Amino acid sequence: MANRYRGEVSAILDGRGWTLCLTLGALAELERAFQVDDMTALVERFTAGTLSARDAVRIIGAGLRGAGNSVDDDQVARMTADGGAAGFAAIVTDLLTVTFGTAEPETSDPS
């Protein structure tokens, strides 16, 4: 079972339950894959609002490997997810959210 406090998420791929986690090593792998210099640039890329299928394969693959699964990106590219492309996008969104958090709007204290 995934522990979201440790940055883990659960996903069903090819009808099987998997745990994904973007560890520091997985993030370094993504920095290389996306040819960016640091995690800030990685976050900027992820928040740009665009996601290619190749991006999803890389992110899901890095998350699977970060959680200790022995799969390569070619295997990930052949996997299926419930909901098709939308299902893959939901997995990526969940993984990035648990890894980097979300920006909460500031609230004013009414007192």
Residue 25, in any domain of the structure: yes
Is 90 strand, coil or helix? helix
pLDDT confidence of residue 102? 64
In this predicted structure, what is the pLDDT of residue 104?
A: 44
User: Residue 40 sits in which domain range?
Assistant: 4-99
Average pLDDT for the chain: 90
Whether 57 is covered by a domain: the verdict is: yes
Asked whether residue 41 is assigned to any structural domain, the reply reads yes
Backbone angles phi, psi at 50, to 5 degrees: -120, 145
How far, in Å, CA of 87 to CA of 63, rounded?
A: 15
Task: pLDDT band for 47, please (50, 70, 90 cuts).
Answer: confident
The domain total for the chain is 1
Q: What pLDDT, in 10s, does the model give residues 32-41? A: 999 999 999 9
Question: What pTM value is reported for the model?
Answer: 0.87
pLDDT of 74 above 50: yes
C-beta of residue 33 within 8 angstroms of C-beta of residue 58:
yes
